Amino acid sequence: MAYRGAWLEWDIHEIDMAVPMSPAQVLRKEKQYFSIKLKRME
């Protein structure tokens, strides 16, 4: 499983590689996620 969704967390022992993101990058990803989710609900 590569993606668990916005609110599910990985246990530390399950993480092979983590990529740090700036706060601006996190906000951009959230906006993209919710934009796609809203489009699918229409």
2 vs 18, higher pLDDT: 18
Q: How far apart are CA 10 and CA 28, in angstroms?
A: 21
For the ranges 3-7, 19-23, 34-38, which has the lowest average pLDDT? 3-7
Query: For residue 26, what are its two tokens?
Result: 């996190």
Length, in residues, of the chain: 42
What pTM did the predictor assign?
Answer: 0.50
pLDDT digits (tens, 9 = 90+) for 11-31: 889 888 888 999 999 899 989
First to last CA, the chain: 27
